[in-house]
Amino acid sequence: MNNGFFNFFNQIFIKKQGDGPYIQFGKYSDRNKTVEQLQYWKNSFILFNEKKYFIALENFFKYVKDPEIENLSYELKDEKIHFKFFQGSKQVFGVADSKKIYAYSEIVKFDNLTDDFLKFVLESNHNLKFSKFSIDSKSNVLKLELNLITNFSNPITLYSALREIGIKADEYDDKLIFKFPGLESINIGHIKPLSDYDIKIKIQYLRNWVEESLKIIEKYDSVKFVGARSFIILALIYRIYFLLSPEGELLQEINRMHDIFYADNNKTDFERNVLIIRKLELLLTWSDERIQNSLYFVYSTFPVAPPVEPEVIIKFAQSEINKIHWYFDNEHKDIAIAIAEYIIGYASYNFGALPIISDIFAVFWEILHHKFFIDLKFSNIPYEKNNINYLLLNQIFNKINTLGQKNYPNLNFNIKHLNLANNNEFLMSYIYEFVNCDFSTEIEEQK
């Protein structure tokens, strides 16, 4: 097996068999830093505290740059660092020296400034901590700008500030285009289209998954099984977000559905379900062209989900896993599986996981949605001819455990604990085995 399989959800980009384009899953995570990069991070702190700001900045950018995907570039010129990085559909440009740091991203181009547009931009500024929107009246461009004083910007502050401008630029690019007709996208030449074949498969599965989920939801009473319907909805949202990895309008719509469910308001779960189901029904009316506009390949530099340690994800899974039992024991296996997928999906959406956890999750997704991966022409799927391929699964986890034990010496995802009787039993036992994994960093004494 190609080593590229491992860390493929953390590395995000996978090459298909042959010379096809990259396939993107989920959103970028920067948890795959090398030992050398981590040393640059430490150096940037030491040098900053020694007031060697310029060298500290250089070490900072060496830390941020991902050598695998070249998401950031910089050059030293005239005692300044000129840098550029990608964040989804946007590019951020900047210059830094020992006195100040400036960065900007061009969000949209406009012909006219309406009162509603200006009001929205001003209100949006209140939600930003480091950056601010500004109007370039000469070029008719809305910019997001960042100005920092170097000696007040330690590496953590600088990282947070650049992350904000990148993520918000990517977010507002799509948000403004859809909210205010007449605006024009700008600086999107780095976006790479998917192949016609991959787009066809993704659109097909989007429609199939939504239709199938709505049919399952319809089977259950909207009041008595309100929680069950919620799990099916959330599992679907996370599946679309992670496996189809949409951008643009579709990503905005998926995020809105998610926000409806977790909004801090007085709505009941019944009401939330109704609102999201309606949005899913409307999603089925989208044309293929409209969906295709949200399916493309982008690079990113900063993670959307905040980084967490393994115990946070384990604790979350432990808090949810017991909800599976009742549904499985009462022959509602489709809901039990939805809860298992919801657990993996929620963690993937909300947490920046370490590569080893991403590897473990990857196998779960591949087996649960093996037809999707096979149709996208991935090889070495540990599920074939309607059965788990035990030998291949054993090879996969021998490698995962070996890699993981470099940092977590007691880690042992033991496939002997997995129930291979059928797919449903397997997936639930998979969650239990993950919860029981030992991510401690100290070697246990042999008794």
> Could you tell me if 120 and 201 lie in one domain?
no
Q: Given this model, what pLDDT does residue 324 score?
A: 87
The residue from 185, 214, 234 where one domain ends is 185
Which residue type does 327 have? Y
* Within-domain flag for 28: no
426 close to 367: Cβ distance less than 8 angstroms:
yes
Structure token digits, residue 285: 């009316």
Give the long-range contacts of residues 53-62, CB within 8 A, separation 24 or more.
53/97, 53/98, 53/150, 53/151, 54/79, 54/81, 54/97, 54/98, 56/155, 57/81, 57/96, 57/97, 57/101, 57/150, 57/158, 60/155, 60/158, 60/159, 62/37
Task: Calculate the alpha carbon distances from 62 to 81, 86, 93 in Å.
Answer: 12, 15, 16
> Could you tell me if 154 and 249 lie in one domain?
no
> Could you tell me if 41 and 178 lie in one domain?
yes
> Could you tell me if 42 and 127 lie in one domain?
yes
397 close to 413: Cβ distance less than 8 angstroms:
yes
Q: Given this model, what pLDDT does residue 22 score?
A: 63
Q: Given this model, what pLDDT does residue 11 score?
A: 45
> Could you tell me if 349 and 287 lie in one domain?
no
400: enclosing H helix or E strand? helix 390-404
Q: What is the pTM of this model?
A: 0.92
Q: Given this model, what pLDDT does residue 318 score?
A: 94
C-alpha 360/C-alpha 444 separation (Å) is: 22
Residue 267 gets which letter from DSSP?
-
The residue from 151, 185, 219 where one domain ends is 185
* Within-domain flag for 134: yes
In tens digits, what is the pLDDT along the chain, a chain of 447 residues?
A: 334 444 544 444 454 444 444 677 888 888 888 899 999 999 999 999 999 999 999 999 999 999 888 899 999 999 999 999 999 999 999 999 999 999 999 999 999 889 999 999 999 999 999 999 999 999 999 999 999 999 999 999 999 999 999 999 999 998 999 899 889 999 988 898 999 999 999 999 999 999 999 999 999 999 999 999 999 999 999 999 999 999 999 999 999 999 999 998 889 999 999 999 999 999 999 999 999 999 999 999 999 999 999 999 999 999 999 888 888 888 898 999 999 999 999 999 999 999 899 999 999 999 999 999 999 998 888 988 788 899 999 999 999 999 999 999 999 999 999 998 777 888 889 999 999 999 998 776 544
Q: Given this model, what pLDDT does residue 26 score?
A: 87
> Could you tell me if 281 and 340 lie in one domain?
no
| Total count of domains within the chain | 3
* Within-domain flag for 30: no
The residue from 162, 185, 208 where one domain ends is 185
12 close to 302: Cβ distance less than 8 angstroms:
no
Task: Calculate the alpha carbon distances from 2 to 6, 396, 402 in Å.
Answer: 8, 11, 15
> Could you tell me if 40 and 179 lie in one domain?
yes
Q: Given this model, what pLDDT does residue 146 score?
A: 97
Q: Given this model, what pLDDT does residue 168 score?
A: 96
Q: Given this model, what pLDDT does residue 25 score?
A: 86
Full domain range(s) for residue 47? 35-185
Q: Given this model, what pLDDT does residue 30 score?
A: 86
Q: Given this model, what pLDDT does residue 6 score?
A: 45
What would you measure as the largest C-alpha separation in the chain, in angstroms? 75
Phi/psi region, residue 36 (left: phi>0; alpha: psi -120 to 50; beta: rest), is: alpha
User: What are the backbone angles phi and psi of residue 172, rounded to the nearest 5°?
Assistant: -75, -25
* Within-domain flag for 373: yes
> Could you tell me if 324 and 422 lie in one domain?
yes
Task: Calculate the alpha carbon distances from 305 to 77, 232, 350 in Å.
Answer: 34, 22, 5
SS3 169: helix
Q: What CATH number is attached to the domain comprising 150?
A: 3.30.1460.10
User: What are the backbone angles phi and psi of residue 105, rounded to the nearest 5°?
Assistant: -140, 135
Helices of type H across 195-322: 196-219, 226-239, 248-262, 269-283, 288-292, 310-321
Question: Can you tell me which residue has the tokens 């010129």?
Answer: 77
Enumerate residues 6+ apart whose C-beta is below 8 A from 260: 272, 275, 276, 279
* Within-domain flag for 346: yes
> Could you tell me if 175 and 44 lie in one domain?
yes
429: enclosing H helix or E strand? helix 423-435
> Could you tell me if 311 and 415 lie in one domain?
yes
* Within-domain flag for 27: no
What value does the CA radius of gyration of the chain take, rounded to a whole number of Å?
A: 23
> Could you tell me if 316 and 437 lie in one domain?
yes
* Within-domain flag for 128: yes
44 close to 60: Cβ distance less than 8 angstroms:
yes
> Could you tell me if 219 and 169 lie in one domain?
no
CA atoms 170, 174, 175, 177: torsion sign: positive
Which residue spans within 187-270 are E strands per DSSP? 192-193
* Within-domain flag for 414: yes
Structure token digits, residue 81: 């660092």
